[in-house]
Amino acid sequence: MAQVAPGANNNSKVYWHVYTGLSILSTASLVTNAVSAHGNFFDVVVQLMSSKLNLLIFLNCLVAVLGQLFYIFVYLFFGTIKQVEHKFIIEKC
């Protein structure tokens, strides 16, 4: 079995934070572009929901934010936990 470097877990957390930030930024720019292009709320909603790419970006942002909320709740209720405990919590969810 391959050994994991001690800092590998921290790097994955940093990558996850960057991924979530970029996902939120892309969603915010998508909404800002739609609002600046259309003045009416209904037209903005139609433009945002009519494209499959827009829906994919919204879903991506939702999954990333829910993942961040999961990590926040685990940290708030359990504090810092070991990797084995983390896997056990994920399996029980």
Sequence ranges of the domains in the chain: 10-92
Check if the beta carbon of residue 68 is closer than 8 Å to that of residue 14: no
Q: Is 3 exposed, middle or buried (0-12, 13-18, 19+ CB in 10 A)?
A: exposed
pLDDT for the residue numbered 9: 59
What's the average model confidence in pLDDT over 48-60? 94
Q: Is the pLDDT of residue 2 over 50?
A: no
**pLDDT value for 3:** 42
Question: Each residue of 4-44: pLDDT tens digit?
Answer: 444 445 677 788 889 999 999 999 999 999 999 998 999 99
The sign one gets for the Cα dihedral 75, 92, 64, 55 is negative
- What is the tens place of the pLDDT at every residue in 57-93? 999 999 999 989 988 887 888 777 677 776 777 777 7
pLDDT at site 25: 96
Note if the pTM is more than 0.85: no
